[in-house]
Amino acid sequence: MASKPLPAPVRRAMTEIGEDLATWRRLRNLTIAQVAERADVARGVVIRLEAGSGATLESTMRVARALGILDSLASAIDPYSTDIGRLRSEETLPQRVRHRVMPQEKSP
């Protein structure tokens, strides 16, 4: 089964995040092997992440933890740090979101 092509914004974000991870690694003066060992992932996972090729969310979080940036990464996607999140913070959010399908009217 062929995978769907990545949308350009997703591909661009993966590349940018990969470059940022590589920069953090270099700032910490760590080798790919050291990061892989600290994150308990294969070297290839770190290489793929830095190349923007992707990996599992778990592997990404493990590498971020090994680089000391896990908290920053988690904070970056905190919905309550946004204007919409702060505005809706007092609301009770639904457990799940469902859209009702409206019955179609019969034609005469």
Return the domain boundaries, the chain.
Answer: 8-76
Architecture of domain 8-76: Orthogonal Bundle (1.10)
Residue (of 70, 71, 62, 73) closest to 38 by Cα position:
62
Does residue 93 carry a pLDDT above 90?
no
What is the token pair recorded at 104?
């179609």
Question: How would residue 1 be classed by pLDDT, with cut points 50, 70 and 90?
Answer: low
Does residue 26 carry a pLDDT above 80?
yes
Q: pTM of the entire structure?
A: 0.80
User: Euclidean distance between the first and final Cα of the chain, in Å?
Assistant: 44
Question: How would residue 99 be classed by pLDDT, with cut points 50, 70 and 90?
Answer: confident
* Residue 39 near residue 79, CB atoms below 8 Å: no
User: Which residues, 6 or more positions from 49, have their beta carbon under 8 angstroms from its beta carbon?
Assistant: 17, 18, 21, 55, 59, 60, 63
